[in-house]
Amino acid sequence: MTSESNGLAELEGRIKKDIPLARHLGLSLASYDGACITLNAPLDGNSNHRDTAFAGSLDAVATLAGWSLMSLMLKELGVDGEVVIQNCTVSFVRPVTADFSARCWKPAAHAIADFAAMLLKRGRARMELEAIIGERLDPAVRFFGRYVAILKD
């Protein structure tokens, strides 16, 4: 899929329009293959006193990876809803010393089906997503976020 056909370019524009800090993160929604979304961000502008990536930047990019994936899933389900984050846990396993990517994967099909059923029944539903920065099997940052989708009236 191209970024036009899967809505990635439109979503990136919306994030940068609505969230001023996202512009300062320098992020781009790089790819989405229907199962995994990848957001890129530069070290430059996101560095700290040790010239590694600032934890707040890593948090923010991972948070937006999950938020973006949830937004794309709502679109694929054909529903109009809002997404908010309820809580997150982040482990900073090792320093990030270069430009970085956050990747977030869809959960298993049965979890998406349960989520969709709850969303249509109750008007809101939660989903837990994992995002990582670095290699999937050896991440520099592990992020678990619980997001809530709320159907619009």
Residues engaged in binding its own copies (CB under 8 A): 14, 18-22, 24-25, 45-50, 54-57, 59-61, 63-64, 82, 84-92, 95
Residue 6 vs 57, nearer CB to its own copies? 57
Q: Which is nearer to its own copies, 18 or 33 (CB)?
A: 18
C-alpha torsion 142→24→150→39, nearest 10 = -50
Nearer to its own copies, 34 or 126 (CB): 126
Instruction: Compute the least distance from the CB of residue 136 to its own copies, in Å.
Output: 19
24: phi then psi, degrees, rounded to nearest 5: -75, -20
92 versus 105: smaller Cβ distance to its own copies: 92
Question: Other CB atoms closer than 10 Å to residue 152's CB: what's the count?
Answer: 9
Residue 63: which of 44, 81, 90, 36 has the closest Cα? 90
Shortest spacing between CB 147 and its own copies, in angstroms: 10
Query: What minimum distance in Å lies between the beta carbon of 56 and its own copies?
Result: 3
Report helix angle 109-122 to 55-77, nearest 10. Answer: 70
What residues are paired with 151 via a beta bridge? 81
Least gap, CB of 141 to its own copies (angstroms) = 10
108: its two tokens: 């298993």
